[in-house]
Amino acid sequence: MAKRIGMEVSIAAAEAVKQANVDVISAYPITPQTHIVEHLAELVANGDLDADFFCVESEHSALSVCVGAAATGARTFTCTSSQGLALMSEITYIASGLRLPIVMIVSNRTLSAPLSIWNDHSDVMSIRDCGWIQFFVENGQESYDHVFAAYRLAEENSVLFPVIINMDGFILSHVIEPIELIEQGKIDQFLPPYQPVHQLHPDHPVTMGAFALPAIFAETKKAQEEALRSSMPKIIETWKAFGDMSGRYYHPVETYQAEDADTLLVTMGSYGETASVAVDKMREAGRSVGLVKIRLWRPFPFDDLKKATLHAKQLVVIDRAISVGACGPVASEVKAALYGNDQRPSVYNFVAGISGRDVTPSDFVKMVDKAEIEIAEGNKEGFEIYGVRG
Amino acid sequence: MTKPESEWTWKELSIGNVVLEPGNASEYRTGDWKTLKPVLNKELCIHCGLCYIFCPDMAYNLNEENYFIADLFYCKGCGICAKECPTGAITMVLEEEEK
């Protein structure tokens, strides 16, 4: 087993990008993503990474450079947060529509207004439907690991989609964690050079990004939709191959103490670790509570989620973003997944920890307490923002 | 393109809808955008070629009799040729439905 060393998660993520041997990095600095690209800039400037680093004037350009570079067959990386992702949003749809295997880390941060630099998932939820494969990671090791899985998956000729790795800003990006780095030789074997199916090259002219008339647009979207859905087996296969290489196995939906639980917490991202501590506490007190963690946000793992949750009496879904005027986006998806089943658990939805407000294990216990009482009293579709004063 | 867009199924599209045949825009019938088409009065034409020079779609071609004639497959009916013609030899008329 390789040695675990203490390092800031942002630095570990940047080291992974270096080990993935990218050709082009294009980024614009924004808190809390900054340390990742700063470290990459250093690696390139010092000659430790043979890549072109583009300092652009905006995030819109950062992703546009990646689109152009990926179209020529380069392995590309960018990284952003919050307003930066919002400014990129136009190009996120283009990268997916053109099926370019760009990898982006989003160090998740709240969208303004009010202006906030702290963590929640409102940034990535604003581009939820852009057609990228989207992962959420729980800790530093997963942040590092998913860079390799993301490139291998994105560049599979039967997949060819851009990938977002969502990593909670500050909560993950700015903490020091023990990270097990993988030997370069293993990475090189796991991640062969990118072989594009189509590329921009003067010797073989093609057109990318042409327009489509109404007579054919629906067919292009059907092709994109089918391709993203059918990437699911490849996602599972990639994580399996990664596990065989590293010893760490990942799945679209992961569970903790869930098999026999009446009440299940459902979380995404770094909440998983905190919630598992809360589950331990509640189990010690003899309560039938477990945890379901969604790692794969798109394509949404409907079947895996059903398998993990249908036996429970109630789900307590914790969202870190709010769809204003509706509910939390994870709860919407969870409800949609369960709707087709006659026997299904009640879903109680909390929006918690928005803009980085601390959510501790005891908060998870309080949310389970509240949800169980509300559901017992007949409020089976509850929704509230947790911990709001007044 | 081997067949019209309206006959393609989603399974036949290239990944990312990449256009693999260079220069196939020439197969795109922009001519069906027009409501007015240019009609040339050969008696007034002085063969100056201004219609050919000004046409934004390069739809004008010189024919064997030395007249510049708009290719209606491409002509969008903008009327710039008629406006620029120094002798008023080009008139824009409502395009009749083709039979």
Separation CA A108–CA A106 (nearest Å):
5
When pLDDT is cut at 50, 70 and 90, the band that residue B99 belongs to is very low
**Residue B21: per-residue pLDDT:** 87
Please state, in angstroms and rounded to a whole number, the distance separating the CA atoms of residues A360 and A274.
7
How many Å apart are CA A29 and CA A40, to the nearest integer? 12
pLDDT at position A157, please? 96
Q: Which of B6, B17, B20 is opposite residue A220, by nearest beta carbon?
A: B17
The answer for residues whose C-beta is within 8 angstroms of residue A364's C-beta and 6 or more apart is A265, A274, A275, A278, A279, A318
Of B6, B13, B20, the CB nearest to A220: B13
CATH topology of domain B33-99: Alpha-Beta Plaits (3.30.70)
Instruction: Report residue B16's pLDDT band, with 50, 70 and 90 as the boundaries.
Output: very high
CB A89 within 8 A of CB A130: yes
Q: What is the pLDDT of residue B95?
A: 84
Please classify residue A389 by burial: count the beta carbons closer than 10 Å to its beta carbon, then call 0-12 exposed, 13-18 middle and 19+ buried.
exposed
Mean pLDDT of B16-43: 91
In this predicted structure, what is the pLDDT of residue A1? 59
A59 pLDDT above the threshold of 60: yes
Q: CA-CA distance, A48 to A43, in Å (whole number)? A: 5
**Chain B residue with Cα closest to A161:** B16
Determine the straight-line distance between the first and last CA of chain B, rounded to whole angstroms. 25
Residues of A within 8 A of B16 (CB-CB) are 97-100, 160, 198, 208
- Do residues A336 and A305 lie in contact, with contact meaning Cβ atoms separated by under 8 Å? no
Domains and CATH numbers, chain A: 4-246 (3.40.50.970), 255-385 (3.40.50.920)
- Site from B2, B17, B27, B29 to mutate, A interface, most A CB atoms within 10 angstroms: B17
In angstroms, the separation between the Cα of residue B32 and the nearest Cα of chain A is 14
Dihedral pair phi/psi, residue B36, rounded to 5° = -115, 145
User: Which residue from A minimizes the CA distance to B21?
Assistant: A206
Amino acid A236: pLDDT: 98
The token pair at A381 is: 């579709």
- B20 to A223: CB separation less than 8 angstroms, yes or no: no
Chain-chain contact of A208 with B11 (C-beta, under 8 angstroms): no
The question of ipTM being above 0.90 is answered as: no
Domain locations in chain B? 33-99
Model confidence at B3, pLDDT cuts 50, 70, 90, reads confident
pLDDT tens sequence across A147-170: 999 999 999 999 999 999 999 999
pLDDT of B23 reads 82
pLDDT of residue B5: 82
Q: What is the pLDDT of residue B97?
A: 54
pLDDT at A381: 87
- Asked if A198 lies within 8 A of B14 by C-beta distance, the reply is yes
Residue A352 vs residue B29, higher pLDDT: A352
Task: Give pLDDT, residue B2.
Answer: 66
Tell me how close the Cα of B70 comes to any Cα of chain A, in angstroms. 25
pLDDT value at residue B27: 85
The token pair at B97 is: 């439905």
CB contact (8 A) between residue B19 and residue A206: yes
Residue among B10, B15, B22 whose CB faces A160 most closely: B15
Q: Write down the pLDDT at residue B18.
A: 95
Task: Give tens-digit pLDDT for A84-112.
Answer: 999 999 999 999 999 999 999 999 999 99
* pLDDT tens by residue, B39-92: 999 999 999 999 999 999 999 999 999 999 999 999 999 999 999 999 999 999
* pLDDT computed for residue A115 by the predictor: 97
What would the mean pLDDT of A21-37 be, rounded to a whole number?
Answer: 97
Residues of A with CB under 8 A from a CB of B: 97-100, 160, 197-198, 205-208, 210, 212-213, 215-216, 219-220, 222-223, 226-227
Between chain A and chain B, the number of residue pairs with CB atoms below 8 A apart is 53
Q: How confident is the model at residue A214 (pLDDT cuts 50, 70, 90)?
A: very high
Distance from the B12 Cα atom to the nearest Cα atom in chain A, whole angstroms: 9
Q: Which residue of A has its CA nearest to B19?
A: A207
Cβ-defined contact of B14 to A98 (cutoff 8 Å): no
Mutate to test the interface with A, among B3, B15, B30 (most CBs of A within 10 A): B15
